[in-house]
Amino acid sequence: MACFKNLFGILMLQMVVLAIISSHADGQGLKIGFYEKSCPQAEKIVFNVMKDVMAVAPSLSGPLLRMHFHDCFIRGCDGSVLLDSPNNQSEKFSIPNLSLRGYNIIDRVKTELEKYCPGVVSCADISALVARDVTVLTKGPFWDVETGRRDGKISLIGDPINPVSGLPPFFLNITALKQSFALRGLSVKDLVVLSGGHTLGMSHCSSFENRLYNFTGIGDTDPTMDRNYIARLKLKCKPNDQTTIAELDPGSFKTFDDSYFRLVNKRRGLLQSDAALLDDPETKAYMIQATSYGSTFFKDFGVSMIKMGRIGVLTGSQGEIRKVCSKVNESPN
Ligand SMILES: *[C@@H]1O[C@H](CO)[C@@H](O)[C@H](O)[C@H]1NC(C)=O
Ligand SMILES: *[C@@H]1O[C@H](CO)[C@@H](O)[C@H](O)[C@H]1NC(C)=O
Ligand SMILES: *[C@@H]1O[C@H](CO)[C@@H](O)[C@H](O)[C@H]1NC(C)=O
Ligand SMILES: CC(=O)N[C@H]1CO[C@H](CO)[C@@H](O)[C@@H]1O
Protein backbone atom coordinates (compact mmCIF):
# COMPACT_ATOMS: atom_id res chain seq x y z
CA MET A 1 0.00 0.00 0.00
CA ALA A 2 2.75 2.40 0.99
CA CYS A 3 4.43 1.45 -2.21
CA PHE A 4 1.33 2.26 -4.21
CA LYS A 5 0.96 5.58 -2.49
CA ASN A 6 4.53 6.41 -3.24
CA LEU A 7 4.22 5.48 -6.86
CA PHE A 8 1.04 7.48 -7.09
CA GLY A 9 2.80 10.44 -5.51
CA ILE A 10 5.55 10.26 -8.08
CA LEU A 11 3.08 9.94 -10.93
CA MET A 12 1.16 12.95 -9.67
CA LEU A 13 4.34 14.94 -9.43
CA GLN A 14 5.31 13.97 -12.94
CA MET A 15 1.90 15.00 -14.20
CA VAL A 16 2.20 18.37 -12.50
CA VAL A 17 5.65 18.87 -13.96
CA LEU A 18 4.42 17.81 -17.39
CA ALA A 19 1.49 20.20 -17.12
CA ILE A 20 3.83 23.06 -16.27
CA ILE A 21 6.29 22.21 -18.97
CA SER A 22 3.88 21.30 -21.73
CA SER A 23 1.97 24.59 -21.60
CA HIS A 24 4.50 25.94 -24.06
CA ALA A 25 6.67 22.90 -24.60
CA ASP A 26 6.54 23.42 -28.34
CA GLY A 27 7.99 26.88 -28.00
CA GLN A 28 4.86 28.50 -29.41
CA GLY A 29 5.40 32.25 -29.55
CA LEU A 30 9.14 32.02 -30.07
CA LYS A 31 10.73 32.90 -33.38
CA ILE A 32 14.05 33.68 -34.96
CA GLY A 33 14.63 37.43 -34.97
CA PHE A 34 11.88 38.29 -32.49
CA TYR A 35 13.60 41.63 -31.78
CA GLU A 36 14.11 42.54 -35.45
CA LYS A 37 11.80 45.55 -35.15
CA SER A 38 11.80 46.30 -31.43
CA CYS A 39 15.58 46.16 -30.97
CA PRO A 40 17.33 45.47 -34.27
CA GLN A 41 20.81 45.59 -32.74
CA ALA A 42 19.99 43.20 -29.87
CA GLU A 43 21.87 40.12 -31.04
CA LYS A 44 24.85 42.17 -32.22
CA ILE A 45 25.06 43.90 -28.83
CA VAL A 46 25.02 40.58 -26.99
CA PHE A 47 27.68 39.15 -29.27
CA ASN A 48 29.98 42.14 -28.91
CA VAL A 49 29.85 42.03 -25.12
CA MET A 50 30.52 38.29 -25.19
CA LYS A 51 33.44 38.77 -27.57
CA ASP A 52 35.05 41.11 -25.04
CA VAL A 53 34.30 38.77 -22.15
CA MET A 54 35.64 35.66 -23.85
CA ALA A 55 38.83 37.51 -24.81
CA VAL A 56 39.69 37.99 -21.15
CA ALA A 57 37.77 35.19 -19.39
CA PRO A 58 37.43 32.18 -21.70
CA SER A 59 36.88 29.86 -18.73
CA LEU A 60 33.45 31.44 -18.27
CA SER A 61 32.26 29.72 -21.45
CA GLY A 62 31.37 26.49 -19.63
CA PRO A 63 29.48 28.12 -16.75
CA LEU A 64 27.57 30.41 -19.12
CA LEU A 65 26.52 27.53 -21.35
CA ARG A 66 25.43 25.67 -18.24
CA MET A 67 23.46 28.69 -17.03
CA HIS A 68 20.98 28.33 -19.90
CA PHE A 69 20.73 24.59 -19.27
CA HIS A 70 19.95 25.16 -15.57
CA ASP A 71 17.47 27.85 -16.45
CA CYS A 72 15.58 25.67 -18.94
CA PHE A 73 15.56 22.54 -16.79
CA ILE A 74 14.03 24.31 -13.80
CA ARG A 75 10.62 25.94 -14.39
CA GLY A 76 11.40 26.28 -18.10
CA CYS A 77 13.61 28.88 -19.81
CA ASP A 78 12.26 31.87 -17.90
CA GLY A 79 15.37 33.43 -16.38
CA SER A 80 14.45 32.12 -12.94
CA VAL A 81 18.01 30.95 -12.28
CA LEU A 82 19.16 34.57 -12.42
CA LEU A 83 16.93 35.87 -9.62
CA ASP A 84 18.27 36.88 -6.23
CA SER A 85 16.08 36.85 -3.17
CA PRO A 86 16.38 38.94 -0.02
CA ASN A 87 17.02 35.88 2.15
CA ASN A 88 18.88 33.72 -0.38
CA GLN A 89 15.91 31.46 -1.05
CA SER A 90 16.05 31.49 -4.86
CA GLU A 91 17.33 28.77 -7.23
CA LYS A 92 20.86 30.15 -7.39
CA PHE A 93 21.33 29.36 -3.71
CA SER A 94 20.56 25.70 -4.20
CA ILE A 95 23.43 23.23 -3.95
CA PRO A 96 23.61 22.23 -7.63
CA ASN A 97 24.50 25.82 -8.50
CA LEU A 98 28.02 25.42 -7.12
CA SER A 99 29.50 25.48 -10.58
CA LEU A 100 27.43 28.36 -11.90
CA ARG A 101 29.38 31.53 -12.44
CA GLY A 102 28.97 34.52 -14.68
CA TYR A 103 25.83 36.16 -13.32
CA ASN A 104 27.70 39.46 -13.59
CA ILE A 105 28.25 38.84 -17.30
CA ILE A 106 24.50 38.46 -17.86
CA ASP A 107 24.06 41.72 -15.94
CA ARG A 108 26.65 43.40 -18.13
CA VAL A 109 24.86 42.30 -21.31
CA LYS A 110 21.55 43.46 -19.87
CA THR A 111 22.96 46.89 -18.95
CA GLU A 112 24.26 47.31 -22.48
CA LEU A 113 20.93 46.31 -24.00
CA GLU A 114 18.99 48.64 -21.70
CA LYS A 115 21.01 51.59 -23.07
CA TYR A 116 19.72 50.96 -26.59
CA CYS A 117 16.29 49.45 -26.05
CA PRO A 118 15.12 49.73 -22.46
CA GLY A 119 12.69 47.10 -21.24
CA VAL A 120 12.63 45.13 -24.48
CA VAL A 121 14.93 42.11 -24.31
CA SER A 122 14.17 39.48 -21.67
CA CYS A 123 16.78 37.97 -19.39
CA ALA A 124 15.66 34.49 -20.46
CA ASP A 125 16.52 35.41 -24.07
CA ILE A 126 19.83 36.93 -23.01
CA SER A 127 20.73 33.61 -21.40
CA ALA A 128 19.83 31.73 -24.62
CA LEU A 129 21.81 34.14 -26.81
CA VAL A 130 24.81 34.08 -24.49
CA ALA A 131 24.84 30.25 -24.59
CA ARG A 132 24.99 30.35 -28.40
CA ASP A 133 27.64 33.07 -28.45
CA VAL A 134 30.02 31.37 -26.02
CA THR A 135 29.74 28.24 -28.17
CA VAL A 136 30.60 30.16 -31.32
CA LEU A 137 33.41 32.09 -29.60
CA THR A 138 35.03 28.83 -28.45
CA LYS A 139 35.04 27.55 -32.06
CA GLY A 140 31.80 25.62 -31.76
CA PRO A 141 28.75 25.67 -34.06
CA PHE A 142 26.43 28.59 -34.78
CA TRP A 143 22.65 28.24 -34.69
CA ASP A 144 19.82 30.73 -35.05
CA VAL A 145 18.44 31.31 -31.57
CA GLU A 146 14.68 31.55 -31.25
CA THR A 147 13.72 34.53 -29.09
CA GLY A 148 10.54 35.98 -27.58
CA ARG A 149 10.81 34.42 -24.13
CA ARG A 150 9.55 36.42 -21.19
CA ASP A 151 10.87 36.40 -17.65
CA GLY A 152 9.29 34.51 -14.78
CA LYS A 153 8.75 35.93 -11.32
CA ILE A 154 9.32 32.82 -9.24
CA SER A 155 12.56 31.13 -8.23
CA LEU A 156 12.68 28.61 -5.39
CA ILE A 157 15.73 27.14 -3.70
CA GLY A 158 14.10 23.71 -3.49
CA ASP A 159 13.33 23.35 -7.21
CA PRO A 160 16.79 22.31 -8.50
CA ILE A 161 17.12 19.50 -5.95
CA ASN A 162 13.67 18.00 -6.48
CA PRO A 163 14.35 14.36 -7.40
CA VAL A 164 11.89 14.36 -10.29
CA SER A 165 11.61 17.90 -11.59
CA GLY A 166 15.07 19.08 -10.53
CA LEU A 167 18.42 19.13 -12.26
CA PRO A 168 19.77 15.71 -13.18
CA PRO A 169 22.49 15.14 -10.56
CA PHE A 170 26.00 14.08 -11.63
CA PHE A 171 25.57 10.54 -10.27
CA LEU A 172 22.49 9.57 -12.28
CA ASN A 173 22.48 6.31 -14.22
CA ILE A 174 21.44 6.17 -17.84
CA THR A 175 17.83 5.18 -17.09
CA ALA A 176 17.32 8.13 -14.78
CA LEU A 177 19.09 10.50 -17.16
CA LYS A 178 16.81 9.47 -19.99
CA GLN A 179 13.78 9.99 -17.73
CA SER A 180 14.93 13.45 -16.70
CA PHE A 181 15.26 14.49 -20.34
CA ALA A 182 12.06 12.75 -21.45
CA LEU A 183 10.13 14.68 -18.82
CA ARG A 184 11.11 17.82 -20.69
CA GLY A 185 10.31 16.48 -24.13
CA LEU A 186 13.96 15.81 -24.89
CA SER A 187 15.02 12.60 -26.60
CA VAL A 188 17.85 10.16 -25.93
CA LYS A 189 19.69 11.80 -28.81
CA ASP A 190 19.24 15.22 -27.17
CA LEU A 191 20.68 13.75 -23.98
CA VAL A 192 23.89 12.57 -25.59
CA VAL A 193 24.22 15.62 -27.84
CA LEU A 194 23.73 18.11 -25.02
CA SER A 195 26.12 16.14 -22.80
CA GLY A 196 28.66 17.05 -25.46
CA GLY A 197 28.49 20.54 -23.95
CA HIS A 198 30.81 19.15 -21.29
CA THR A 199 33.52 19.89 -23.84
CA LEU A 200 33.53 23.23 -21.99
CA GLY A 201 33.91 23.73 -18.29
CA MET A 202 35.01 22.36 -14.98
CA SER A 203 33.65 20.28 -12.15
CA HIS A 204 34.31 20.24 -8.42
CA CYS A 205 36.29 17.26 -7.13
CA SER A 206 33.44 16.56 -4.75
CA SER A 207 31.27 15.66 -7.76
CA PHE A 208 33.38 12.62 -8.65
CA GLU A 209 35.49 11.98 -5.54
CA ASN A 210 33.56 8.80 -4.78
CA ARG A 211 34.73 7.32 -8.09
CA LEU A 212 38.34 7.78 -7.01
CA TYR A 213 38.23 6.81 -3.35
CA ASN A 214 35.08 5.15 -2.14
CA PHE A 215 32.80 4.00 -4.89
CA THR A 216 30.71 1.42 -3.05
CA GLY A 217 31.66 2.37 0.51
CA ILE A 218 34.56 -0.09 0.87
CA GLY A 219 37.35 2.29 -0.14
CA ASP A 220 37.22 1.15 -3.77
CA THR A 221 37.40 2.93 -7.14
CA ASP A 222 34.83 2.97 -9.94
CA PRO A 223 35.66 -0.10 -12.06
CA THR A 224 34.22 1.59 -15.16
CA MET A 225 36.82 4.36 -15.03
CA ASP A 226 40.22 4.08 -16.71
CA ARG A 227 42.79 3.21 -14.03
CA ASN A 228 45.46 5.55 -15.32
CA TYR A 229 42.95 8.35 -15.36
CA ILE A 230 41.97 7.61 -11.76
CA ALA A 231 45.64 7.79 -10.75
CA ARG A 232 46.01 11.15 -12.46
CA LEU A 233 42.86 12.57 -10.90
CA LYS A 234 43.93 11.43 -7.44
CA LEU A 235 46.94 13.73 -7.69
CA LYS A 236 44.57 16.63 -8.17
CA CYS A 237 41.68 15.72 -5.89
CA LYS A 238 42.26 14.59 -2.32
CA PRO A 239 39.43 13.13 -0.21
CA ASN A 240 36.93 15.70 1.12
CA ASP A 241 38.26 18.40 -1.15
CA GLN A 242 35.55 21.05 -1.40
CA THR A 243 37.44 23.66 -3.39
CA THR A 244 39.52 22.16 -6.19
CA ILE A 245 38.00 21.98 -9.64
CA ALA A 246 38.99 19.72 -12.53
CA GLU A 247 38.48 20.12 -16.26
CA LEU A 248 35.68 18.05 -17.72
CA ASP A 249 37.59 17.87 -21.00
CA PRO A 250 41.25 18.20 -19.99
CA GLY A 251 43.47 20.03 -22.41
CA SER A 252 40.65 21.63 -24.38
CA PHE A 253 38.10 22.75 -21.82
CA LYS A 254 37.99 26.22 -23.38
CA THR A 255 37.45 24.90 -26.90
CA PHE A 256 34.17 23.53 -28.16
CA ASP A 257 35.06 20.30 -29.95
CA ASP A 258 34.33 16.56 -29.92
CA SER A 259 37.09 15.64 -27.46
CA TYR A 260 34.62 15.13 -24.61
CA PHE A 261 33.15 12.17 -26.50
CA ARG A 262 36.63 10.85 -27.26
CA LEU A 263 37.38 10.83 -23.53
CA VAL A 264 34.11 9.19 -22.53
CA ASN A 265 34.68 6.53 -25.19
CA LYS A 266 38.05 5.83 -23.55
CA ARG A 267 36.37 5.49 -20.12
CA ARG A 268 37.66 8.89 -19.11
CA GLY A 269 34.38 10.62 -18.52
CA LEU A 270 34.73 12.63 -15.32
CA LEU A 271 31.24 12.30 -13.86
CA GLN A 272 29.19 9.16 -13.40
CA SER A 273 26.57 10.73 -15.64
CA ASP A 274 29.23 11.05 -18.36
CA ALA A 275 30.32 7.43 -18.00
CA ALA A 276 26.64 6.38 -18.04
CA LEU A 277 26.45 7.34 -21.71
CA LEU A 278 28.33 4.12 -22.46
CA ASP A 279 25.54 2.07 -20.90
CA ASP A 280 22.97 2.58 -23.63
CA PRO A 281 23.32 1.33 -27.20
CA GLU A 282 21.94 4.53 -28.72
CA THR A 283 24.07 6.99 -26.76
CA LYS A 284 27.12 4.79 -27.19
CA ALA A 285 26.64 4.56 -30.95
CA TYR A 286 26.20 8.31 -31.13
CA MET A 287 29.49 8.98 -29.38
CA ILE A 288 31.30 6.81 -31.90
CA GLN A 289 29.58 8.59 -34.78
CA ALA A 290 30.33 11.98 -33.22
CA THR A 291 34.05 11.28 -33.18
CA SER A 292 34.22 9.81 -36.67
CA TYR A 293 34.61 11.27 -40.13
CA GLY A 294 31.33 12.89 -41.14
CA SER A 295 30.32 13.58 -37.54
CA THR A 296 27.02 15.43 -37.22
CA PHE A 297 27.70 16.61 -33.65
CA PHE A 298 28.05 20.33 -34.43
CA LYS A 299 24.84 20.45 -36.42
CA ASP A 300 23.02 18.31 -33.86
CA PHE A 301 24.12 20.51 -30.99
CA GLY A 302 22.35 23.53 -32.45
CA VAL A 303 19.20 21.50 -33.07
CA SER A 304 19.12 20.17 -29.49
CA MET A 305 19.86 23.60 -28.02
CA ILE A 306 16.92 25.08 -29.92
CA LYS A 307 14.72 22.27 -28.58
CA MET A 308 15.95 22.80 -25.04
CA GLY A 309 15.35 26.53 -25.42
CA ARG A 310 11.64 25.85 -25.92
CA ILE A 311 11.07 24.12 -22.60
CA GLY A 312 8.28 25.72 -20.60
CA VAL A 313 8.78 29.18 -22.03
CA LEU A 314 6.64 32.16 -21.12
CA THR A 315 5.59 34.17 -24.19
CA GLY A 316 3.07 36.77 -25.32
CA SER A 317 1.73 38.57 -22.26
CA GLN A 318 2.96 36.00 -19.72
CA GLY A 319 5.62 36.97 -17.21
CA GLU A 320 7.44 40.24 -17.75
CA ILE A 321 10.58 41.78 -19.24
CA ARG A 322 12.83 42.34 -16.25
CA LYS A 323 14.68 45.62 -16.01
CA VAL A 324 17.43 43.99 -13.96
CA CYS A 325 18.08 40.26 -14.42
CA SER A 326 18.51 39.51 -10.73
CA LYS A 327 15.25 41.16 -9.68
CA VAL A 328 11.59 40.98 -10.61
CA ASN A 329 10.17 44.38 -11.56
CA GLU A 330 8.43 46.48 -8.92
CA SER A 331 4.68 46.19 -9.18
CA PRO A 332 3.18 49.59 -10.04
CA ASN A 333 1.20 50.24 -6.85
C1 LIG B 1 23.10 35.74 1.15
O2 LIG B 1 24.30 35.21 0.59
C3 LIG B 1 25.39 36.10 0.60
C4 LIG B 1 26.53 35.49 -0.16
O5 LIG B 1 26.54 34.11 -0.12
C6 LIG B 1 25.74 36.39 2.07
O7 LIG B 1 26.82 37.28 2.13
C8 LIG B 1 24.52 37.02 2.75
O9 LIG B 1 24.79 37.21 4.12
C10 LIG B 1 23.31 36.12 2.60
N11 LIG B 1 22.13 36.81 3.09
C12 LIG B 1 21.25 36.23 3.90
C13 LIG B 1 20.09 37.07 4.32
O14 LIG B 1 21.33 35.07 4.25
C1 LIG C 1 18.98 3.89 -11.78
O2 LIG C 1 18.73 4.81 -10.74
C3 LIG C 1 17.42 4.74 -10.21
C4 LIG C 1 17.25 5.81 -9.17
O5 LIG C 1 17.98 6.95 -9.45
C6 LIG C 1 17.19 3.36 -9.59
O7 LIG C 1 15.88 3.28 -9.12
C8 LIG C 1 17.44 2.31 -10.64
O9 LIG C 1 17.35 1.02 -10.04
C10 LIG C 1 18.79 2.46 -11.28
N11 LIG C 1 18.91 1.54 -12.40
C12 LIG C 1 19.96 0.77 -12.59
C13 LIG C 1 19.93 -0.11 -13.78
O14 LIG C 1 20.91 0.79 -11.84
C1 LIG D 1 33.61 4.96 2.56
O2 LIG D 1 32.19 5.02 2.62
C3 LIG D 1 31.66 4.32 3.73
C4 LIG D 1 30.15 4.28 3.59
O5 LIG D 1 29.64 5.55 3.26
C6 LIG D 1 32.14 4.96 5.00
O7 LIG D 1 31.63 4.29 6.12
C8 LIG D 1 33.66 4.94 5.03
O9 LIG D 1 34.13 5.64 6.17
C10 LIG D 1 34.24 5.57 3.77
N11 LIG D 1 35.67 5.35 3.75
C12 LIG D 1 36.53 6.34 3.52
C13 LIG D 1 37.97 5.97 3.47
O14 LIG D 1 36.17 7.50 3.35
C1 LIG E 1 24.85 26.37 -1.86
C2 LIG E 1 25.67 27.32 -2.64
O3 LIG E 1 26.85 27.17 -2.80
N4 LIG E 1 25.02 28.33 -3.16
C5 LIG E 1 25.67 29.35 -3.96
C6 LIG E 1 24.88 29.58 -5.20
O7 LIG E 1 25.35 30.70 -5.91
C8 LIG E 1 25.38 31.89 -5.19
C9 LIG E 1 25.75 33.02 -6.12
O10 LIG E 1 26.91 32.73 -6.84
C11 LIG E 1 26.34 31.74 -4.02
O12 LIG E 1 26.39 32.92 -3.28
C13 LIG E 1 25.83 30.62 -3.15
O14 LIG E 1 26.70 30.42 -2.09
Strand pairing class (202-204; 146-147):
unpaired
Q: Topology of domain 174-307, per CATH?
A: Peroxidase; domain 2 (1.10.420)
Phi, psi of 246 (to 5 degrees): -125, 150
Cβ–ligand 1 distance for 243 under 6 Å, the answer no
The answer to the question of whether 199 is labelled as a binding residue is yes
**Rg, C-alpha atoms of the chain:** 20
Distances (CA, A) of 43 to 110, 124, 135, 276, 306: 12, 14, 15, 36, 16
71 is in an annotated binding site: yes
Residue 73 has φ and ψ, to the nearest 5°, of: -75, -25
Give the whole-angstrom CA distance, residue 155 versus residue 89. Answer: 8
Tens-digit pLDDT profile for residues 76-114: 999 999 999 888 888 888 866 556 889 999 999 999 999
Instruction: Find the ligand nearest to 279 CA.
Output: 2
Task: Note the pTM of the prediction, 2 decimals.
Answer: 0.88
CA 170 to centroid of ligand 2, rounded, Å: 14
Residue range(s) in the chain whose domain bears CATH number 1.10.420.10: 174-307
Residue 15 pLDDT greater than 90, yes or no? no
pLDDT, position 223: 97
From the alpha carbon of 87, which atom of ligand 1 is closest? 13
Kindly state the DSSP code that residue 330 receives in the 8-state scheme.
P
Q: What is the predicted pLDDT for the residue at 95?
A: 67
Please give the backbone phi and psi of residue 213, each rounded to the nearest 5 degrees, phi first: -120, -30
* Cα distance between residue 183 and residue 191, in whole Å: 12
Asked whether residue 274 is marked as a ligand-binding residue, the answer is: no
Say if residues 203 and 248 touch (Cβ distance below 8 Å): yes
User: CB 229: neighbour CB atoms within 10 A?
Assistant: 18
pLDDT of 132 higher than 50: yes
More confident residue, 72 or 24: 72
Please report, as a single letter, which amino acid is at residue 32.
I
Average pLDDT value for residue range 37-48: 98
Please determine, for residue 314, whether its predicted confidence score (pLDDT) is greater than 90. Answer: yes
- Across residues 171-186, what is the average pLDDT? 96
The catalytic residue positions are 70
Angle at 305 between CA 18 and CA 42, to 5 degrees: 110
Query: Which residues in the chain are classed under CATH 1.10.520.10?
Result: 29-167
168-174: average pLDDT: 92
Indicate the fold that domain 29-167 takes in CATH: Peroxidase; domain 1 (1.10.520)
Between the CA of 310 and the centroid of ligand 1 the distance, in Å, is 32
159 is in an annotated binding site: no
Q: Three-state SS for 320?
A: strand
pLDDT for the residue numbered 9? 37
- Give the C-alpha separation, 152 to 236, whole Å: 40
Q: How far is the CA of 225 from the centre of ligand 2 (A)?
A: 19
Q: Which residues line ligand 2 (CB under 6 A)?
A: 173, 175-176
Q: Where are the beta strands (DSSP E) in the chain?
A: 31-32, 146-147, 202-204, 245-247
Ligand with minimal distance to 209 CA: 3
In the predicted model, what is the mean pLDDT of residues 254-259?
Answer: 95
Residue of minimum CA distance from atom 10 in ligand 3: 217
pLDDT in tens, 192-237: 999 999 999 889 999 999 999 999 999 999 999 999 999 999 999 9
Residue 88 beta carbon below 6 angstroms from any ligand 1 atom: yes
Rounded Cα distance between 52 and 258, Å, is 25
User: Ligand 4 centroid to 247 CA: how many Å?
Assistant: 20
